Amino acid sequence: MRTASRSAQLIILAIVVSTGIYLYLVRPGGEAPGSATSGWLPDGATGQVVEAFQARQSGVPVETAGRVERLLSDDREGSRHQRFIVRVDGSMTVLVAHNIDLAPRVPLAVGDSVELRGEYEWNAQGGVIHWTHDDPDGHHPGGWIRYGDRMYR
Tens-digit pLDDT string for the chain (153 aa): 555 566 655 555 445 444 444 333 333 333 333 334 445 554 555 688 999 999 999 999 999 999 999 999 999 999 999 999 999 977 799 999 999 999 999 999 999 999 999 999 999 999 999 999 998 998 888 899 999 999 999
Spatial separation of the C-alpha atoms in residues 80 and 94, rounded to whole Å: 19
So what's the pLDDT on residue 53? 92
Contact at 8 Å (CB) between 113 and 66?
A: yes
So what's the pLDDT on residue 27? 36
Residues 79 and 127 placed together within one structural domain of the fold: yes
> Where residue 61 sits, what CATH number does that domain have?
2.40.50.200
Residues 139 and 78 placed together within one structural domain of the fold: yes
Model-wide pTM > 0.85 = no
Residues 94 and 25 placed together within one structural domain of the fold: no
Structural domains in the chain (count): 2
Residues 26 and 78 placed together within one structural domain of the fold: no
Q: How far is CA 140 from CA 52, 57, 102, 110, in A?
A: 18, 16, 14, 29
Q: How far is CA 116 from CA 3, 24, 53, 107, 121, in A?
A: 56, 26, 17, 14, 15
Contact at 8 Å (CB) between 98 and 106?
A: yes
Whether residue 38 is contained in a domain is answered as: no
Residues 113 and 140 placed together within one structural domain of the fold: yes
So what's the pLDDT on residue 90? 78
Residues 59 and 106 placed together within one structural domain of the fold: yes
Residue 50 is part of which domain span?
45-152
So what's the pLDDT on residue 116? 95
Q: Are strands 150-152 and 92-99 parallel, antiparallel or unpaired?
A: unpaired
Residues 136 and 86 placed together within one structural domain of the fold: yes
So what's the pLDDT on residue 115? 95
So what's the pLDDT on residue 11? 57
Nearest to 121 by CA among 69, 76, 57: 57
Whether residue 36 is contained in a domain is answered as: no
Whether residue 40 is contained in a domain is answered as: no
